[in-house]
Amino acid sequence: MSERATFPPRSPSPEPSFWIGQGNTAAPGATGARDVLAALRAFRAADAAMRERARAELAVNETDLVAIRHLIQREARRTPVSPKDLTAHLGISSAATSKLLARLTRTGHIRREAHAVDGRVQLIFATPAAHQEVRRALGGVHERMFAAAEDLEPSERHAVVRFLTAVADAMSATKTDSASHHGGSPTGVAAPSGGTEAVPGHSTT
């Protein structure tokens, strides 16, 4: 007879237990730190789901989608992208980049051109079809996200930017940095629902 895992009884508290070791210190009825982080967790789950829908619509994998969107963003800034640039942005090997480019060329998502001055350098561009597919998959979502940001008061935008910047710094910190900041071992925080990203650190915005 196999042993069955046992778990401690559930806490009677209605508060979520996602944020390990942290209590909600706000007054009853007020928005506490855990409420803010729970909203952030919900956003990250929705963000992951949005990427998955876009990935499925374009019939590409996560890294391919990040690459296509990077090319489109760089084209909007009129900044050309070389295979070396893309390798650095994605954080993958040159060999993996070569396979990615061959794959996206076959699917009609990118085109390649020789540099106008240095013909030895290859530049990469998203095709009109890729632009259209990304707009169809993400354009409406981005418009609604921008509208939500515009709906905030200037002071609220400042607070949101300050908070998200601090969260990004916290998520980027190493264990040593966290231990030094807290004066001991860092507080454990589980990964949000929605799965891990194929290319860490790349958001959809």
pTM summary value: 0.62
Higher pLDDT, 121 or 65: 65
> Do 18 and 11 touch, CB atoms closer than 8 A?
no
| pLDDT tens readout for residues 25-60 | 666 677 888 888 889 999 999 988 988 888 888 889
Quote the pLDDT of residue 30: 79
Angle of the 94-106 helix axis to the 83-90 helix axis, nearest 10: 110
pLDDT in tens, 144-182: 999 999 999 999 999 999 999 999 999 888 765 555 555
What CA–CA distance (Å, rounded) separates 66 from 63? Answer: 5
